[in-house]
Structure 1
Amino acid sequence: MRRVRYDTAGGPLFLEECLVPTPGPGELLVRCEAVGVTLPVVRKVTESAEPIPLGGEIAGEIVSVGAAVTRFRAGERVTGLCFGHGYADFALLGEAMASPVPDDASAVDAVALVRSGLVAMGALEAARPGPGESALVTAAASGVGHLAVQLARARGAARVTGAVSDPAKAPFVRSLGADEVVAYDDPSWGAPVDYVLEAVGGELLTSAVAALAAGGRLVACSSGGGTVQAYDLLVGAKSVTGFQIARIAREQPEKYERWRQELWRLFTEGVLRPAVHAGFALEEAAEAHREIESRSNLGKVVLVT
């Protein structure tokens, strides 16, 4: 089978031929049809001292199952987060991380919706949104952000603002239901909001906190780091909460599954529309990474095998 890997920090990425893996206890062997490309994986390629397996969201058909697997069988279609080598024709997926793909959904739909949607939904839940409140979503055109804009609207936000790196993304973000779109370097992000879903990190955290109304809540769900000044929180009685979806998956599997089912329900009802920026071939993985690094994507970047 084919697999993407790299040997030194920063790449380059290349295809290699290797043996099809054998599922161990609790694992599914999946023939990958689509693989989601994420910013955390792209960052690890450039920042990790040692090469790592290129994992991420995968979707496809189960070929075989390991011992102790009870929820799935060969021939079923699933999606989930692969922690090993996911940029491949075949990948191993832990049963606990797997979710069935409905018959009327494609593999590309699945990788664009489920993992990114879980992050967006979890961040929104952490913000504790109330009916009629206002929301701001950073990285609003990203794989997570474009779903967060739609979810905030579906949860009753009276006003949704999307923050983007490039003003050219504004028509796309407005098409998702955003009332306003601002660029990161705009001197003002408009009227203050009740909560911010922040998916960029770094220096943008300062602007995101400033965008909050008194008593507002910021949920940080980015791997980009950054620092928040305590004084900026104190003067407006504002708060910051960190959100990590992996912790929910490990410690609250019932909630994780409930959110997954809710995402598919919203998708089936047409409330949630995952957008795919481009479908790259497996051998074009380096180009897909460059698309993420340049922040030019509108929606999810996907590898199609």
Structure 2
Amino acid sequence: MRRIRHRHGTLTVQHVPTPAPGPGELLVRTEAIGVTLPVVRKLAPHGGAADGPVDEVVDEGDDGAGPEPLGGEVAGVVEAVGPDVAEATGFAPGDRVTGLCFGDAYSDAALLHTAMASAVPDHATAHDAVALVRGGLVALGALEAAHPRPGETALVTAAASGAGHLALQLARLRGGAGHIVAAVGDPAAKGDFLRALGADAVVGYGDTDWGPPADYALDAVGGALLGPLVRGLTDGGRLVAYSSGGGTLAAHELLAGAKSVTGFQIGRVARERPALYAAWREELWRLHAAGELRPAVAAAFPLAEAAHAHALIRARGNLGKVVLEP
């Protein structure tokens, strides 16, 4: 099988034997692989595939070690299960599953731990699964952390991203938002897409007027945007930060208006509150089955063109989830 790894930011296609699933693992023949911003950012400091040309994927054969794996969401069909998996979990060959793979997600076949796996319902495609489940869980969890109340004004940053475009929809579906502001880097290019998903206004990060102060903001950008976001909140407003982009805030910006900032991490919910994690996942599928929550796939690239997929996310040109297809 093929897998893609990276060494100092340079992506490498390797041809290796298909692995056998161990205890608690499923071997999944991947049909769709979700590309995540944290993975793209992970490669960026090296200045390789994340910052250089997009044709850096080369075939080095199977060297058995060295290059590091790339994780991500996967969806596909179970080919084999590890010892005792069928008895303990009910998963069996032929099942359609999705989940977050921490090992080699960029591959023809991925090892997925059963704790991270869930069934893909009949009404969903593999693309739907990688676009909805993990990004939707992040979006729904961030919204829950904001404690939304019906009729409030919501501000969503990175609103056209894989998680952001779902957070925008959930702010109204789940939070009952009365007014939703979508913030992006390029409002002209993304405005039609976001308004079709329910945004009442689309603004740029550098705009001087974001409209009425927001009751809460869901932020996937971080960095220098944190200050303007807090200043854009109404008194008592809440900022939920779920970005890997870092950033700092001055305490007086919170104290003056009794504003608050909450950091959200979906991994902690998965580890410490698995029942809630599962309930959120089922809610996402229900909303999708009803046609209310619409996951969007911005582009699908062949596996060997992973660098092109990274380049699209790096340029912030995607409208929804970016997917690889083996």
Q: Normalising by structure 1, what TM-score?
A: 0.97
1:129-168 matches, within 5 Å, as: 129-155=148-174, 156-167=176-187, 168=189
Amino acid at match of 1:56: G
**TM-aligned CA distance change 1:88 to 1:134, over 3 Å:** same
Percent of pairs identical after alignment? 64
Please give the alpha-carbon distance, in whole angstroms, between the structure 2 residues aligned to 1:272 and 1:10. 35
Please list, as runs of the form range in 1=range in 2, the aligned pairs for 1:32-181 lying within 5 A after superposition.
32-47=30-45, 52-69=68-85, 70-71=88-89, 72-155=91-174, 156-167=176-187, 168-181=189-202
CA–CA separation in structure 1 for the residues paired with 2:67 and 2:245: 20
Look up the SS of the partner of 2:258 in the other structure: coil
> Aligned letter for 1:41?
V
Deviations 1:256-302 (A, max 9, x none): 00000000000000110000000100011000000010001000000
**How far off is 1:45 after superposition?**
1.6
Matched to 1:34, the amino acid is: A
SS in 2 for 1:203: helix
SS of the equivalent of 1:216 reads strand
| CA distance in structure 2 between the partners assigned to 1:29 and 1:10 by the alignment | 27
Q: What are the superposed Cα offsets for residues 85-140 of structure 1, whole Å, 9 maximum, x if unpaired?
A: 00000001110101100112110110011000000000000000011111000000
Work out whether 1:299 is the aligned partner of 2:324. no
Matched residue SS, 1:249: helix
1:10 alignment partner in structure 2: 9
**1:259 maps to which residue?**
280
Separation in 1, partners of 2:45, 2:78: 33
Q: Which range moves more in the overlay, 278-287 or 166-175?
A: 166-175
Once the two structures are TM-superposed, the CA of residue 48 in structure 1 deviates from its matched residue by 6.7
> Aligned equivalents of 1:162 and 1:209: distance in 2?
15
Partner of 2:226: 205
Q: SS at the partner of 1:222?
A: coil
TM score, norm. by length of structure 2: 0.91
Q: What residue identity is the alignment partner of 2:281?
A: R
Question: Secondary structure of 1:186's partner?
Answer: coil
2:269 corresponds to 1:248: yes
Over aligned residues, Cα RMSD in angstroms?
Answer: 1.2
Shift of 1:46: 2.2
2:236 aligned residue? 215
The answer to whether the Cα contact below 8 Å between 1:219 and 1:242 also exists between their aligned partners in 2 is yes
Q: CA deviation digits over 1:193-219, x for unaligned, max 9?
A: 110000001001111111110000000
1:28-48 superposed Cα distances (whole Å, 9 cap, x missing partner): 110000000000011112237
Unaligned runs of 5+ in 1: none
**1:187 match:** 208
Q: What is the alpha-carbon distance in structure 1 between the residues aligned to residue 250 and residue 209 of structure 2?
A: 19
Q: Offset of 1:51 from its aligned partner? A: 5.2
Gaps of 5+ in 2: 48-65
Is the CA contact (8 Å cut-off) linking 1:45 and 1:51 kept in structure 2?
A: no
Conserved? CA contact 1:45–1:52, under 8 Å: no
Q: Is the 8 A contact 1:123 1:197 kept in 2?
A: yes
Helix, strand or coil at the partner of 1:6: strand
Tell me how many residue pairs correspond in the alignment: 303
Distance 1:25 1:211 in 2: 50
Q: 1:211 to 1:98 in 2, by over 3 A?
A: same
SS at match of 1:29: strand
Alignment partners' CA distance in 1, 2:42 and 2:150: 38
- The alignment partner of 2:107 has SS state of coil
Asked whether the 8 Å contact 1:140–1:148 carries over to 2, the reply is yes
1:241-265 CA distances to partner (integer Å, 9 max, x unpaired)? 0000011111100000000000000
Give the C-alpha shift of residue 10 in structure 1.
2.2
Contact 1:137 / 1:196 at 8 angstroms: preserved in 2? yes
